Amino acid sequence: MLRSLTALLIALWCFTACTSSDHRATNSVPPPVQDSVPAPAPPVRDTLTTLIPGSYLESVTNGGQAYILYIPRSFRDSLPMPLMVCFDPQGNGRVPVHRYASLADEFGFILAGSNQVRNGLGIDASASMARELAAAVLEKMKTTHAGLFLCGFSGGAKVALVAPGNMKGVSGVVHCGAGLPDGIPAPTVPTYGVTGNRDMNYSEVIEFVNRLGRQPMHHLDITDGKHAWPETTDMRRAFSWCKVLACKSGGNCERPILQQFTRQINTLAARTTDPIQRMRIYRCGIDCLQGLSPVPEWENSVQRLMKDPVYQQSIPEDSRALSAELNRRQFLLDAFRSQEEDWWSHVIGDLQKRKQDPMNDRLLGYISLACYSLTRQAMEQGNMPEVARLNRIYLLADQENAEPNFLAAKLFSQVGQKDSVLSYLKRSVQYGFKDLSRLESETAMRALLSSADQRDLEEGIRKNQSDW
């Protein structure tokens, strides 16, 4: 039984359903953009025969894949420029492209975001579409590119990590909030991982980075955040890393670029008290600047750390902490078949009281993911009593999530409880539900709603859609 549950979740994580716990993103509000940046002008449709600096363009590849493009303000036809292709787990390329446009301007990157690569397409299809999009944009560029980078969040991160396997010319991969499980080959190009210390996929990313070892060159940036596209301030470090790698691909490696990266490494190393993370930071700097700039100071720091008893002790402690969290996840997964709702109410309540510990926050996210995945399985089997049970646990763990609230409305509509249907639908919209066609398909649900209620709900959904 345990093996079947584990196999289910692995299958769902590996592109067949809600990859890397993007159950929230399926119908819930996308990660909020908290950075204070001016709202960009609406994108214009363009054949991409003319690339206008500072513009957002929408186009379609020859294979029919829709995408959005941002051309940085420094773009010139004769100036080689790196390209970063981004993959959002819900196929909304606008999210990363608009979010990181200011970084594209700062570092001189063309940004492309796929509007079709999304969770549930399958690993082979997703990787193929990633390669198609990169090739299409490179073909449209009028100059030789200065490095090709793939970037993704959660399920999109898995796409970015898998695609280089059959793709030439990739300079590096930025993977946010996800890694690859055992059994899926890791890329042979440099990687830059970003994960929040409260991200439910934190342990997955740590395991993946540990598996990479020192080959290929890689870095892990641990931020103070949850499962979301990184803040612009955090993503700036990833862009700086990519810019240095672009220098090695034939780009314009000006001294200020190297100086900025050096300051970044020194700042990060000084900021962290974790000797393991400090070691990762120094090694990232050494690997990046090798052949471009001497780094004797960092090499000396690495040697001192390796001899430091605190560092030596931290390695097994870090390993034990990771193993303990993975064991706790396995225990919780098994409990879905053996424990009743009262037990879950106690466990979830205890985790919520101790959310100041990032691990407990991550475990709550893991329970939410498991509820989503197991609920899908129960619905496919037509086991509605189990769906109802799992959804109640789902709401306990993640009540500010559009998905379990919408499902609760659906369940109450089956027994004709109008007030409950309307209440849970309002909550779902409040927490970002945006799939209008899904609401329209629920005839039993809509039959219980007044015309005014339906109109208000539809207006709320359209507003959520306008927020990407």
State residue 192's pLDDT score: 93
State residue 247's pLDDT score: 80
State residue 50's pLDDT score: 67
Opening angle at CA 83, ends 77 and 87, nearest 5: 140
State residue 81's pLDDT score: 83
CA distance 412 to 428: 14
State residue 244's pLDDT score: 87
Q: pLDDT truncated to tens, each residue of the chain (468 aa)?
A: 444 444 444 444 443 334 333 455 443 323 333 333 344 444 444 444 567 888 888 888 888 889 999 989 888 766 778 899 999 998 889 999 999 999 999 998 999 999 988 887 887 888 888 888 888 888 777 555 678 999 999 999 999 999 998 888 899 999 999 999 888 888 889 999 999 999 999 999 998 988 887 666 788 899 988 899 999 999 999 999 998 888 876 656 677 788 888 888 888 888 888 898 888 888 888 888 877 878 888 999 999 999 999 988 888 888 899 899 999 999 999 999 889 999 999 999 999 999 889 999 999 999 998 998 899 899 889 999 999 999 999 999 999 999 999 999 999 998 899 999 999 999 999 998 988 889 999 998 989 999 999 999 999 999 988 765
CA distance 178 to 122: 16
- Among left, alpha and beta (phi > 0; psi -120 to 50; other), residue 18 is beta
State residue 468's pLDDT score: 53
State residue 216's pLDDT score: 63
State residue 150's pLDDT score: 96
Contact (CB, 8 A) for 171 and 249: yes
Name the β-bridge partners of 153: 176
CA distance 432 to 464: 6
For 374-394, the pLDDT digits (tens) are 998 998 899 999 999 999 999
CA distance 235 to 239: 6
Bond prior to 216 in cis (omega within 30° of 0)? yes
Tell whether domain 2-253 is in CATH 3.30.70.1340.
no
